[in-house]
Amino acid sequence: MSIAALALDRYADSTSSVAVKENNIGVDETSKSFGAHLNEATEKKCPYSFLAKDGIINYKGVVFECDYQQNAITLGNMYEKEKEPELQENSLIEQINSYKTELYRKLLNNETEVKIRIGSQEFSDKEWDKLMKRVDQEQERIQEALDEKEEKQAEEFMQAKMAKA
């Protein structure tokens, strides 16, 4: 039964009760509509609560939860989402305190190194020296390759010159 059909049943129930009052005919429990029984059975109120089973409305595969405190239906439990940032905040505070403790321990034991920011990276003196050593080695390798290429071209030029003569 769809939501619209149940709503129409509810509307039909209210119009039939008006007709009964006009005719002064009594209505017994068996002649009440299905929607009226559902409305009487639920003490907690939320939109479409007559479709809820244990506070859950499953309509065409979409699961809604009845929020009886705010008289609303929600997609999922909204209260857990409000608690989630608080948990993340506590986790962040714990990480900051852990970092402070580690930094304090390093300062006491003189284990800290000065780091210099270059672009998006930071380098300590040791890291910078290591990087520059690798850069120097790569430049030397490139220069050696260029020198070898020049020597080879010079030899080929000399051989070509001797071959012409």
Q: What is the pLDDT of residues 70-128, one digit of tens each?
A: 888 888 655 555 556 666 778 888 999 999 999 899 888 888 777 888 888 888 888 99
* Burial group, residue 35, by CB count within 10 angstroms (0-12, 13-18, 19+): buried
Q: How much is the average pLDDT of 26-45?
A: 59
Q: Can you tell me the distance from the alpha carbon of 41 to that of 136, in angstroms, rounded to the nearest whole number?
A: 83
Phi/psi at 72 (5° precision): -150, 165
Question: Looking at residue 32, what DSSP letter applies?
Answer: S
- Is residue 20 a contact partner of residue 27, using CB atoms and an 8 Å limit? yes
pLDDT above 50: residue 159 = yes
Give the distance, in angstroms, between the CA of residue 150 and the centroid of all CA atoms in the same chain: 58
How far from the centroid of its chain's Cα atoms is residue 160's Cα? 69
Round to whole Å and give the CA distance between 11 and 13. 5
pTM check: above 0.75: no
Q: Which of 45-49, 95-99, 159-163 is least confident? A: 45-49
- DSSP element (H, E) containing 68: none
Neighbours of 42 (CB within 10 A): 13
Alpha-helix runs per DSSP H in the chain: 3-23, 34-41, 78-108, 125-164
Instruction: Name which of 33, 69, 65 is nearest 52 in CA terms.
Output: 65
Residue 64 pLDDT = 86
Antiparallel, parallel or unpaired: β 72-74 and 115-118? unpaired
